[in-house]
Structures are given as structure tokens and as C-alpha cells.
A and B are shown apart, each in its own frame.
Chain A
């Protein structure tokens, strides 16, 4: 059973870059699709984007200019970088895996707060 665990700073200052890592255990990152999803407090779920194991990415147009998702096959991890953050980027961030693009298995989520 594949397990995913998000990690990274819980507090990021406005205008800085949010960086999160998802560590995958029980399976290889060299297959499938790997996603980031978030839920701001009091709001709905938002799919940030995904990366295919080949390296092909697809980002939500609302975030495309600020987001980057990458793979590190040597560590069996994938990462999210979101630049120029504001308070609107405060959210619980989830990583997920999908056999197709839709993430069918998710991590527990990690809260990231953007505040000075």
C-alpha cells in the first residue's frame, strides 16, 4: 500500500516561496501521476497540478505563473514550489498519487500559513 507524507515549513512569509516535499513509501515514484491539491480555510479543494513520472507537468492556470512541481527519483519524492505567496495561499496542502491524472491516494495534508 503506497503511503504519502507531506513535509515542509508550516509558516511562510508573504512574497516568499512555499516549498513542500511529498515522500512516497511502499511504491516507486517512477510510475503514475503525482499531484498537489490544497484547501484554504473555509473554502473548497483546489487541484494545484500534477507531474507524470516522465516529467510532464500540468498546472492549474490560476497558479501557473507561480507554481512548479518536480520529481526526485533518487529520493522517491516529489516537490511543490509556489512563489510570491500571499495570505490567500494559506491552506492545507495534500499530495496525491493517481494511476490516471486524478489522485486516488492522498497524504494526510500539511497546514501552511502565510504570515509575517
Chain B
């Protein structure tokens, strides 16, 4: 299985400041059709995960534009331009290029 490695696992941030989470895969996530199936999920306390980003950089409908995704091949990043209180929670990267799809360990974002 493809191993997804996130860093850091804990990210204390100041409100209004940027935050960045890294995700690395053990294999290239470029599919045979040229697409890269890398998603980012947010799980707020007490809620189920919701997808923020798909195919590396495409935002889901309703996701604030302070969230952005980037990267290619095996290295990917989720950035929050200005952290708000509602952004507290767990963030996961997930690949669906290779079956079975696999998740990163999760990064806990908290306010300093």
C-alpha cells in the first residue's frame, strides 16, 4: 500500500497567521490518465471528516479560499493563509491513485 506521511503531526498556530501541512507519498500519485488523486480532509471536533481539496488543488464548493493545496508527484502541501478559530481540528491527506486508497496519520491544528 502507498504510505502517506504527514508533518507536522501537531501544529499550534496563532489566529490570523498562516499554517502549512506537508504530505509525502511513498510512490508517485500521478495516475495513468495524468490526473493526481490527492485530497485533503478536515475533521472538526465532534464532526465527521469533510473534503476540502481534491486533485491536489481544487477546492470543494463552499470551502473558504484561505485553504489552498499544491504539489506534485510525491510531495503535497495544504496551506491556510490566515487561520481562524473554526479551523481547529484534524487534517488528513488521502490518495486514491493506487488501490487501496490510503490516508496520512493526521495533523492536529490548534490555536496557541
Per the bound structure, the CA–CA distance linking A101 and B50 in Å amounts to 15
Complex interface: chain A residues within 8 A of B48 (CB): 94, 106-109
Task: Select which of A45, A60, A100 is within 8 A of B92 by beta carbon.
Answer: A45
Is there contact, CB below 8 Å, between B49 and A94?
Answer: yes
A7 at the binding interface (Cβ < 8 Å) = no
Interface size on B, residues (CB 8 A): 20
Is there contact, CB below 8 Å, between A58 and B99?
Answer: yes
Chain B min CB distance to A7 (Å): 15
Per the bound structure, the CA–CA distance linking A105 and B41 in Å amounts to 10
Is there contact, CB below 8 Å, between B100 and A106?
Answer: no
A61 at the binding interface (Cβ < 8 Å) = yes
Q: In chain B between 83 and 112, which residues have their CB closer than 8 angstroms to a CB of chain A?
A: 92, 94, 96, 99-106
Is there contact, CB below 8 Å, between B100 and A47?
Answer: yes
A26 at the binding interface (Cβ < 8 Å) = no
Complex interface: chain A residues within 8 A of B101 (CB): 47, 101-102
Chain B min CB distance to A97 (Å): 11
Q: In chain A between 18 and 45, which residues have their CB closer than 8 angstroms to a CB of chain B?
A: 44-45
Residues of A within 8 A of B (CB): 44-47, 49, 58, 60-62, 94, 100-109
